[in-house]
Amino acid sequence: MRSSSVVLIALVALAAYYIYIPLPSSVSEPWKLMLLDATFRGAQQVSNLIHCLGLSHHLLALNFIILSFGKKSAWSSARVKVTDTDFDSVEVRVFEGSPKPEEPLKRSVVYIHGGGWALGSAKIKYYDELCTVMAEELNAVIVSIEYRLVPEVYFPAQIHDVVRATKYFLQPEVLQKYSVDPGRIGISGDSAGGNLAAAVSQQFSQDANLKNKLKVQALIYPVLQALDFNTPSYQQNVNTPIVSRHTMVKYWVDYFKGNHDFVQAMIVNNHTSLDVGEAAALRARLNWTSLLPTSITKNYKPVVQTTGNARIVREIPQLLDARSAPLIAAQEVLQHLPKTYILTCEHDVLRDDGIMYAKRLESAGVKVTLDHFEDGFHGCMIFTSWPTNFSVGLRTRNSYIKWLDQNL
């Protein structure tokens, strides 16, 4: 009896030690977030073990776990028709709101899910629920793209998949088939999906045949640059769930099929040090001392190395490619972009990627709404259902859908 209670106490203490992480009290429901983070961390550790044992790539193992968690599609709505199909051999899941006699043509959003270019699926319940609610509340057609992921493919294949599916959808006969108004189509995505949405918007706005085809872009806590991992938000949220700085840098390196040995050097900005000539011209485009307000920069200091490691961008030149880092695109590219919504969260390494992009777009003359959530954390918008329901999840989703309703 006594020894079993000792074991029990030890187990509880061990579990508490594993789950507890210091979190600011301003984040939405900190205890629930700790549990969510511990679950995700556990899944990552199991995946790393499977990788070390040589059984499978850790990202494949991790995605297998995520897909199993997200499998049970508890969500369905009698008013939304869901179809799995192919657009130019890219898999998509289409959500159609029910026809309204007074509005024969529907609005539409091309949606790109998040997951570090390596994880997630248009078919897990989190995105099913989001897209169903969007289709229903906006009475719209939502095209959720099942693009291929790392390690099956690497940059820029993810972009190519999204471009192919979107171009196919934009053909007049396809829009007609889905009763979509060609003048009211937007592109959107969260996290790495926001990165892909931003890249595709830039590509389309440069293409004479596709220019003005997208009415809006809506970017949810997007990933937008890999040149500075010491923005105030990267410094402030080094170990904040759901994505720590170290994890984010690894997603980047994996996206480029790069060498993990560079991760530590990239964390201290050795890849964009002053002696790396290739990066010099781009630094000014993400100079946060001028792009961010002092309420955000606080007392954080820029991390600029005098000497670093020039081998990194020579081996991974994709780091400096605006298709991977839309924030560093030239002003001439930005000025042609459609009306933009950017949602940012305070407790997120990527907060300043979004705020800097909003600032650069505004300076280029683009209409931008920056929607910031003080208690938000990275990924919160898909956490709206029990047991992972967060009040900030519902509030971000409502705010996003409201903006789409008023602007699309």
Catalytic residues: 191, 348, 378
User: CB-wise, 204 or 252, nearer to ligand NAG?
Assistant: 252
Q: How far is CA 40 from the centre of its chain?
A: 17
- DSSP per residue over 168-208, as a string? HHTSHHHHHHTTEEEEEEEEEEETHHHHHHHHHHHHHHT-T
Of 83, 171, 239, 264, the one binding ligand NAG (CB under 6 A) is: 264
Rg (CA), the chain: 21
Nearer to ligand NAG, 3 or 306 (CB): 306
Answer for which of 68, 99, 389, 402 binds ligand NAG (CB under 6 A) is 389
x/- map, 209-248, ligand NAG, by CB under 6 A: ----------------------------------------
Q: Which long-range contacts (CB under 8 A, 24 or more apart) does 262-265 make?
A: 262/309, 262/312, 262/315, 262/316, 265/308, 265/309, 265/312
Shortest approach of ligand NAG to residue 386 CB, angstroms? 4
What is the rounded CA–CA span in Å between residue 313 and residue 278?
Answer: 8
Q: Looking at 270, 272, 318, 344, which residue binds ligand NAG (CB under 6 A)?
A: 270
Name the one range near ligand NAG by CB under 6 A: 60-68, 128-136, 341-349, 389-397. 389-397
Binding mask 274-293 for ligand NAG (x = CB under 6 A): ---------xx--x-xx---
CA distances from 203 to 103, 194, 199, 337, 355 (A): 31, 14, 6, 10, 21
Buried b (16+ CB within 10 A) or exposed e, 141-174: bbbbbbbebbeeebbbebbebbbbbbbbbbeeee
Which secondary-structure segment (H or E) carries 359? helix 351-363
Tell me the HSE value of 384 on the side-chain side, using a 13 A CA sphere.
Answer: 19
For residues 392 and 287, what is the distance between their CA atoms, to the nearest angstrom?
Answer: 30
Residues 308-367 binding ligand NAG (CB under 6 A) are: 308-309
Among 67, 268, 303, 364, binds ligand NAG (CB under 6 A): 268
Q: Tell me the closest approach of the beta carbon of residue 328 to ligand NAG, in angstroms.
A: 13
Shorter beta-carbon distance to ligand NAG: residue 180 or 328 = 328
CB of 216 to ligand NAG, least distance (A): 28
Beta bridge partners of 145: 92, 112
Pick 28 or 202: Cβ nearer ligand NAG: 28
- Distance of alpha carbon 408 from alpha carbon 406, whole angstroms: 6
Nearer to ligand NAG, 170 or 319 (CB): 319
Q: Which of 172, 209, 386, 406 binds ligand NAG (CB under 6 A)?
A: 386
| Residues 305 and 264: beta-carbon distance below 8 Å | no
Select 201 or 272, whichever has its Cβ closest to ligand NAG: 272
Distance CA 300, CA 238 (A): 13
- Single out the segment in contact with ligand NAG by CB under 6 A; choices: 73-81, 214-222, 337-345, 386-394: 386-394
- Minimum CB separation from ligand NAG for residue 268, in Å? 5
- The region of 223-231, 236-244, 262-270, 348-356 touching ligand NAG under the rule CB under 6 A is 262-270
Contact 334, 360 (CB under 8 A): yes
- Letters for 47-86 (x = contact with ligand NAG by CB under 6 A, - = none) are ----------------------------------------
Stretch that binds ligand NAG, among 102-110, 224-232, 303-311, 340-348 (CB under 6 A): 303-311
Among 26, 73, 176, 307, contact with ligand NAG (rule: CB under 6 A): 307
Minimum Å gap between C-beta 298 and ligand NAG is 16
**Shorter beta-carbon distance to ligand NAG: residue 153 or 303:** 303
**What tokens appear for 137 in the block?**
């509340």
Determine the Cα angle at 186 with ends 120 and 223, to 5°. 45
Q: How far is the CB of 157 from ligand NAG (least distance, A)?
A: 29
Which residues touch 31 (CB under 8 Å, ≥6 apart)? none
Q: Min. distance of Cβ 270 from ligand NAG in angstroms?
A: 4
Binding site for ligand NAG (CB under 6 A): 264-265, 268, 270, 283-284, 287, 289-290, 307-309, 386, 389-391
